[in-house]
């Protein structure tokens, strides 16, 4: 990504969303924009439709858990513009128990990615057409990629090496 496109991105986002753009960081030629949680759908629709961004391809959605911080979770969107050959990372912060508006209305492919985030972190996406676990069985307890979930899981009949549940 050339430097100018990065600055242009920040400028256009700032013009359009003002204070909803909380932070913009460049690191190793990647641009990360943190936006307010409530405006994520709007921002996503904007970067998809705006010709300067043209982020038609949703590459990935993922969660990160920071148990000691408030808000606790990060949800990260990796976007790609095939025509402009640029990438953008959008980020929102979510507190435990809060929900996130879904972006399935913007990109159809967000469906499975959001299900995966829900499966692994327990973050609920409101408006999602089919929000259920994707990897784990429906009756699984807990969310494995949270930092307080033990590496070997919890002890039960099938998992004698797991940790005792309190």
Partner 1 sequence: MEKKRNDMKGMPVTTRELTLSFGPQHPSAHGVLHLLVDIQGETVLRAEPDIGYLHRGTEKIAENLFYHQFVPYTDRLDYMCGMSNNLAYVLAVEKLLDIEVPERAQYIRVIAAELSRLSGHLVCIGAWGVDLGAMSMLLYAIRDREMVLDLFEMLCGARMTYSYLRIGGVRYDATEEFKKKCLALCRILPEKIEEYEKLLTGNRIWIKRNRGVGAISGEDAIEIGLGGPNLRASGVNWDMRKDEPYLVYDRLNFDVPLGTDGDCFDRYMVRIEEMRQSIRIIEQCVRDMPEGPFNVDMPEIVPPPKHEIYQNMEALIHHFKYVSHGFKVPEGEVYCAIEAPKGELGFYIKSDGSERPYRLKIRAPSFCNLQAMDTLSRGEYLADVVAIVSSLDPVFGECDK
Binding site for partner 1 (CB under 8 A): 27-28, 30, 32, 56-60, 62, 64-65, 76, 78, 82, 85, 87, 89, 107-109, 111-112, 120, 133-137, 144-145, 149, 151
Please, what is the minimum distance in Å from the beta carbon of residue 20 to partner 1?
A: 21
Nearer to partner 1, 15 or 23 (CB): 23
Q: What are the phi and psi torsion angles at 80 (to 5°)?
A: -140, 135
Nearer to partner 1, 30 or 38 (CB): 30
Instruction: Write the secondary structure of 72-127 as one string of H (helix), E (strand) and C (coil).
Output: CEEEEEEEEECCCCEEEEEEEEECCCCEEECCCCCCCCHHHHHHHHHHHHCCEEEC
Residue 64 host element (H or E) = strand 57-65
Nearer to partner 1, 19 or 132 (CB): 132
Please, what is the minimum distance in Å from the beta carbon of residue 8 to partner 1?
A: 19
């Amino acid at each position: 990504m050339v430097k100018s496109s990065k600055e242009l991105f920040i400028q256009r986002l700032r013009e359009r969303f003002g204070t909803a753009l909380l932070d913009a960081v460049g690191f190793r030629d990647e641009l990360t924009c943190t936006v307010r949680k409530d405006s994520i759908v709007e921002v996503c629709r904007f970067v998809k439709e705006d010709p300067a961004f043209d982020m038609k391809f949703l590459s990935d959605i993922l969660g990160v858990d920071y148990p000691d911080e408030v808000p606790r979770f990060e949800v990260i969107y990796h976007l790609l513009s095939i025509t402009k050959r640029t990438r953008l990372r959008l980020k929102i912060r979510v507190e435990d128990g809060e929900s996130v508006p879904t972006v399935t209305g913007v990109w159809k492919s967000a469906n499975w990615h959001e299900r995966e985030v829900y499966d692994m972190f327990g973050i609920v996406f409101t408006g999602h057409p089919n929000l259920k676990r994707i990897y784990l069985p429906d009756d699984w307890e807990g969310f494995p990629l949270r930092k307080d979930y033990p590496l070997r899981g919890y002890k039960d009949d099938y998992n004698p090496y797991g940790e005792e549940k309190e």
